[in-house]
Amino acid sequence: MTTQSIADFLEELASATPTPGGGGAAALMGAMGAGLIAMVAHVTVGKKGQDMQLQEMEQQIKEAGVLRQEFTAMISADAVAFDGLMSAFKLPKHSLDAIDRRALAIQQGYQDATEVPLSCIRACLHGLALAHRSAEQGHRNVLSDSGVAVHALLAALRSAILNVQINVPAIKDQSFVDAALNEVRAAEEEASASAAMTLDVVNARLS
């Protein structure tokens, strides 16, 4: 999955098979955001002089690298989780015992298919904080790329939120649902404020 070419991934995304789906697409958007932040830092380090803070740029490269790896792993993890849910639905219903086992597997499947987008949301919040540092301290030539990273990470976060929202109505563990929805609400608030602030920085430095 994660060693595929972009063209092959998009072909599979477009096909009628359930994975990769919107969950994997969200993770890929996040990976692009993280990749762009690292690119901005690499370019900035490559420019001589000014008051560029080498340590900060090296730190951004490191954090963005870890994030990109996490997002990339989520592309596969989301496919595994959603395929697991699809398989649970196909379990037999030939006895009361089998029906119980199937119901349990479906519940586990929905929880797994919710945990991956929740991880994606957390990684996006970290990515958005990093994008703010990137927009403030990155080289002006690549300022737009810090902005593109913001858009990619916000799209990834909101996409992951949609995946949580479509899955939770099927989950019977109310404390799990409440925790997930509370986290989603807080994340949307933090992300929209953070993105707006960073896009203001981008616009201010552009003009």
Ligand X SMILES: Nc1nc(=O)c2c([nH]1)NC[C@@H]1CN(c3ccc(C(=O)N[C@@H](CCC(=O)O)C(=O)O)cc3)C=[N+]21
Exposure string over 171-196, b if 16+ CB within 10 A, otherwise e: beeeebbeebeeebeebeebbeebbe
H helices then E strands: how many in the chain? 6, 0
Q: Does 119 bind ligand X (CB under 6 A)?
A: no
Stretch that binds ligand X, among 3-11, 19-27, 61-69, 146-154 (CB under 6 A): 19-27
Q: Is the C-alpha dihedral spanning 147, 153, 159, 165 positive or negative?
A: negative
Q: Among residues 113, 157, 187, 195, which is the contact residue for ligand X, using CB under 6 A? A: 113
| Residues counted in the chain | 207
- Quick note: the x/- pattern for ligand X over 78-97, rule CB under 6 A, is x--xx---x-----------
CA 4-9-15 angle, to 5 degrees, is 140
Q: Which is nearer to ligand X, 37 or 113 (CB)?
A: 113
- If binding is defined by CB under 6 A, does position 157 make contact with ligand X? no
Among 116, 118, 128, 161, binds ligand X (CB under 6 A): 116
For ligand X, the closer CB: 80 or 104:
80
Among residues 72, 137, 146, 163, which is the contact residue for ligand X, using CB under 6 A? 163
Asked if 72 is part of the footprint of ligand X (rule: CB under 6 A), the reply reads no
Q: Is 198 near ligand X (CB under 6 A)?
A: no
Residue 30 makes contact with ligand X by CB under 6 A: no
Instruction: Name the residue nearer to ligand X (CB basis): 40 or 116.
Output: 116
Q: Are 142 and 43 in contact (CB under 8 A)?
A: yes
Query: DSSP secondary structure string, 131-197?
Result: HHHHHHHS-GGGHHHHHHHHHHHHHHHHHHHHHHHHHGGG---HHHHHHHHHHHHHHHHHHHHHHHH
Asked if 22 touches ligand X (CB under 6 A), the answer is: yes
Nearest CB to ligand X, comparing residues 37 and 118: 118
Closest by Cα among 151, 132, 155, 154 to 205:
132
Q: How far is the CB of 5 from ligand X (least distance, A)?
A: 20
Q: Which of 203, 148, 193 is nearest to 37 (CA)?
A: 148
Q: Any contact of residue 16 with ligand X (CB under 6 A)?
A: yes
Q: Which residue ranges make up the site for ligand X (CB under 6 A)?
A: 16, 18, 21-23, 78, 81-82, 86, 113, 116-117, 163, 166-167
